[in-house]
Structure 1
Amino acid sequence: MFSSSKLKAIDFYRKIPRDLTEASLSGAGLSIIAAFAMVFLFGMELNSYLSVATSTTVVVDRSKNGEHLRIDFNVSFPNLSCEFLSVDVHDVLGTVRQNLTRTVRKYPIDSNMNRVGQDVHVGHLPTIRNHGDHHGDEELAEGVGEGAVELGVDNFDTYAHEFPILLVNFYAGWCSWSQRLKPSWEKAAQIIHERYHPDDDGRIMLGKVDCAEARNQLLCRSHHIQGYPSIRVFRKGQDVRDAQGRHDHDSYYGERDTDSLVAFAETLVPVPTGAGTLALEDKSENNSTVKRSAPKSGGCRVEGFAMVKKVPGSIIIAARSTSHSFDAAKTNMSHYVQSFSFGRKLSYTLAKEVYRVYPLLDGVEETLTGHMYTSPHENITFDHYLQAVKTEVISLKSSKDFKLLEEYNFVAHSAELQTADVPVAKFQYELSPMQVLVSETPKSFSHFITNVCAIIGGVFTVAGIIDSMLHSAIRMVKKVELGKQY
């Protein structure tokens, strides 16, 4: 057992009897200042300990193989109808998906890009197998007479109001699909003319409009004809029908051989109801393979998202059909980008947490959003090249959703290209192989205690040194004064 005297021998803090110490005003003042300094520095250290440090590093993208990325978009095309608008996805691995419909919605808009109706559920255009009676039979085409009445801006309204049903083929002479349709259309017109002669019956008439002629271009534009051939149904001068609140054009997309055309035309023939009146009964309403609605408006807003592989690729918005032709000189791809973003959308709470951890992301505006891209002249393709970088934020919040948050930022470079093909709007994207990793790292409690001890001991030591210097200086001054007295 150690005796008390031996324990006292290892005392680091040997005491000086109080009677041997001397208090001074300078020491008291310095002690007060030192105490305030200790409290202030302790508060600063406590605040630093309670705040979470953030570390930012650039690392290789840690995405898993085969992982997909969501791309959201909202783009308005004031001069492209929803009837033929198609959203396609391509990538460098050979993936090709055309006309996305499950995750994309289309809304008709006017020239001011205001919505004028409900969303358009047009889906995929029907596949037409018979584009005529005998493909490649030029003799048959030459032998068929002109059965359909030639319509134009001068007589269109007259015929449209004269006949209860007017079936019109809007075509272009240069269009190969129009040329293949012509023999069967003329032949079908002859058959309908014989069965429902205007002088004896007059319930239906088949006509045609050459949209390639300059005098008819305004007429075709007023009916929003963008693909050739387009077959429209006019009932008592109108081709717009009200289908569950949607005011759309009544169009035919079925087979183009004579028998199919005649069969469809006869489903439209109104039924006499007596007293010289006719009932316009649509007997083809349930036949979705031959007829559907075309949007009334000439513009379209497309919004939705696409799930793509994390490799370079492109989203292409274009007028597309396997059985229609488009005039490149009249296809205007001017568009307004309402929004375009990569990655899943974060809720307000999650976004707020991301910006709290990494404030540099807050207020960053994408270069595409809110911009209008106008075609200065004909045949203009818009090409947007997007370089995206992923930022991963690791938060210390206890909630599972806060553990790992992803945010994408991108830079866009846009160009206008003149081409002989039908123009498109292309959004090419490339993801950076590197990513920014932002993580919160809490400070160690042991470091906090160490720093507090360093603050107290350091201030106490420095104050002691200053007090000793002041006390020595005062004694020296007193000695000098005493020496002068003697």
Structure 2
Amino acid sequence: MARIPSLKSLNAFPHAEEHLLKKTYSGAVVTILGLLIMITLFVHELQFYLTTYTVHQMSVDLKRGETLPIHVNMSFPSLPCEVLSVDAIDMSGKHEVDLHTNIWKLRLDKHGHIIGTEYLSDLVEKEHGAHHDHDHEQEHHDEQKKHEQTFNEEAQKMIKSVKQALGNGEGCRVYGTLDVQRVAGNFHISVHGLNIFVAEKIFEGSSHVNVSHVIHELSFGPKYPGIDNPLDDTSRILHDTSGTFKYYIKVVPTEYKYLSKKILPTNQYSVTEYFLPIRPTERAWPAVYFLYDLSPITVTIKEERRNFLHFITRLCAVLGGTFAMTDSLVASVAMHATWNA
């Protein structure tokens, strides 16, 4: 096929004759620097392309009839495990015991080292379990008579054991999972499970109950990349005072969608806190309350990757610009050398 001579005028890349080209050391140095810059920029653009980013969307929460998992991991350095109890209640005022709920207590020495473990199954305060039908009153009355005979002995034994633990600086770590209904409610950790007279004998007043605590983890579902649980690694230590801590939590239902199309249902939350000091004349007992409410809005977080054509466009712009800058610099160096000659 014959070539069309007029096409030569459209050549945007003319070449000089070989004998007109001159290679210099300065040009080689600039070329090497240009290559290093282009390699660096290429790696940066490649990493930028391979890195995923997230897109947030909001919609009305349509979930019904599901449970809300609450993962708890806390330490109480000034209270033994024998006196601590966990109580959960929903907005209707009904205390619930979930058979799938697992809460464990770990005995800690004064240095925070584990010295024993105990399974905590009494999630309902004993004082709230006093509502019974009339048909069962006589049965419980008979049982109460039997327990009265051994109560004093068992109570004295427990008081002695707890006081010894307090003297040794023993603490407690409470961890596990609470599965509650998806309605507003609260759970709290306190000494409310104790008989009031036993508690008075042990602590000699509510103002001597130290509910200092460290929240290692508090979450409402599995973790996803980038989640920030604001109460994780939070410590509240009391000195020469006592009181009740209240954490007001707004739980936001969340769905995290991975690039693989896998969907992870979970929850994130925000929190505000309030501390109410106990006065010596008050009869209320200190506790740590977590009062939660659910948002009606679901947040969907979706992983996405940048478009390949966008990556090619940026790459051409970066590498082409670097090449043009290097070429101009070489020409400038060559011209300067010619003038000096």
SS at 1:97's partner residue?
Answer: coil
State the partner residue of 1:335: 211
CA distance in 2, matches of 1:436, 1:416: 33
Cα distance 1:456–1:95, how it changes in 2: closer, same or farther (>3 A)?
same
Task: Give the letter aligned to residue 22 of structure 2.
Answer: S
Task: Give the letter aligned to residue 335 of structure 1.
Answer: V
Cα distance 1:101–1:417, how it changes in 2: closer, same or farther (>3 A)?
farther
CA distance in 2, matches of 1:45, 1:367: 40
State the partner residue of 1:96: 94
Cα distance 1:15–1:37, how it changes in 2: closer, same or farther (>3 A)?
closer
CA distance in 1, matches of 2:62, 2:74: 28
Residue identity (%): 14
Cα distance 1:117–1:129, how it changes in 2: closer, same or farther (>3 A)?
farther
Q: Deviations over 1:447-477 (max 9, x none)?
A: 3433443344334433444455555566667
Contact 1:367–1:412 (8 Å) recurs in 2: no
State the partner residue of 1:23: 21
Q: Deviations over 1:307-326 (max 9, x none)?
A: 245565321335558xx765
Task: Give the letter aligned to residue 429 of structure 1.
Answer: L
State the partner residue of 2:285: 423
CA distance in 1, matches of 2:161, 2:113: 11
Q: Deviations over 1:401-437 (max 9, x none)?
A: xx64858576563413437444241423346858987
Q: Deviations over 1:239-260 (max 9, x none)?
A: 5xxxxxxxxx399xxxxxxxxx
State the partner residue of 1:382: 244
Q: Deviations over 1:125-171 (max 9, x none)?
A: 686724879xxxxxxxxxxxxxxxxxxxxxxxxxxxxxxxxxxxxxx
Deviation of 1:439 after TM superposition, in Å, equals 5.9
CA distance in 2, matches of 1:469, 1:60: 56
Deviation of 1:334 after TM superposition, in Å, equals 2.5
Normalised to the residue count of structure 2, the TM-score between the two structures is 0.60
Cα distance 1:31–1:393, how it changes in 2: closer, same or farther (>3 A)?
farther
Where structure 1 has 5 or more consecutive residues not aligned to the other structure, the ranges are 134-180, 189-228, 240-248, 252-292, 479-486
Are 1:313 and 2:185 matched, yes or no? Answer: yes
Contact 2:52–2:306 (8 Å) recurs in 1: no
CA distance in 2, matches of 1:118, 1:6: 92
CA distance in 2, matches of 1:14, 1:122: 82
Cα distance 1:132–1:81, how it changes in 2: closer, same or farther (>3 A)?
farther
For the pair shown, the structure with the greater C-alpha radius of gyration is 1
Cα distance 1:404–1:101, how it changes in 2: closer, same or farther (>3 A)?
closer
Task: Give the letter aligned to residue 220 of structure 2.
Answer: G
How many residues align? The count is: 308
Are 1:50 and 2:58 matched, yes or no? Answer: no
CA RMSD of aligned residues (A): 5.3
> Of 454, 471, 474, which residue of structure 1 is paired with 2:317?
454
Cα distance 1:395–1:314, how it changes in 2: closer, same or farther (>3 A)?
same
Task: Give the letter aligned to residue 366 of structure 1.
Answer: D
Contact 1:343–1:408 (8 Å) recurs in 2: yes
CA distance in 1, matches of 2:71, 2:113: 24
Cα distance 1:389–1:413, how it changes in 2: closer, same or farther (>3 A)?
same
Deviation of 1:4 after TM superposition, in Å, equals 2.0
Where structure 2 has 5 or more consecutive residues not aligned to the other structure, the ranges are 131-135, 166-170
Q: Deviations over 1:283-331 (max 9, x none)?
A: xxxxxxxxxx98984379554332245565321335558xx76577735
CA distance in 2, matches of 1:455, 1:99: 62
Task: Give the letter aligned to residue 418 of structure 1.
Answer: I
Contact 1:82–1:295 (8 Å) recurs in 2: no
Contact 1:90–1:314 (8 Å) recurs in 2: yes
SS at 2:4's partner residue?
Answer: helix
SS at 2:11's partner residue?
Answer: coil
Contact 1:71–1:306 (8 Å) recurs in 2: yes
Task: Give the letter aligned to residue 129 of structure 1.
Answer: E
CA distance in 2, matches of 1:106, 1:231: 31
Structure with more helix by fraction: 2
Contact 1:82–1:106 (8 Å) recurs in 2: no
